[in-house]
Amino acid sequence: MTEKEMLQKNIEEFARLQKYMVLTQDKESAAYKEMKGRYIELKVILTACGINLTELDIIKE
């Protein structure tokens, strides 16, 4: 997998994960906490790769 393909995959996962987080009503549930952990991981990865998350990050946590 090329670097470009990996970035695209991570951006798509980040966007999809945020949609799931928005749909989750119970922010204290185990599922939401797992999603939030992955959300933070993806933010770190994408930021380290130089991706500006200003437009992509709808959760902003």
- Judged against a pLDDT cut of 90, whether residue 60 lies above it is answered with no
Residue-level pLDDT at 61: 79
Say if residues 14 and 49 touch (Cβ distance below 8 Å): no
Q: Residue 59 — very low, low, confident or very high, per pLDDT cuts 50/70/90?
A: very high
Cβ within 8 Å of residue 15, ≥6 positions away: 56
**pLDDT tens per residue, range 11-57:** 999 999 999 999 999 999 999 999 999 999 999 999 999 999 999 99
What letters, b where the CB count within 10 A reaches 16 and e where it falls short, cover 14-25? beebbeebeeee
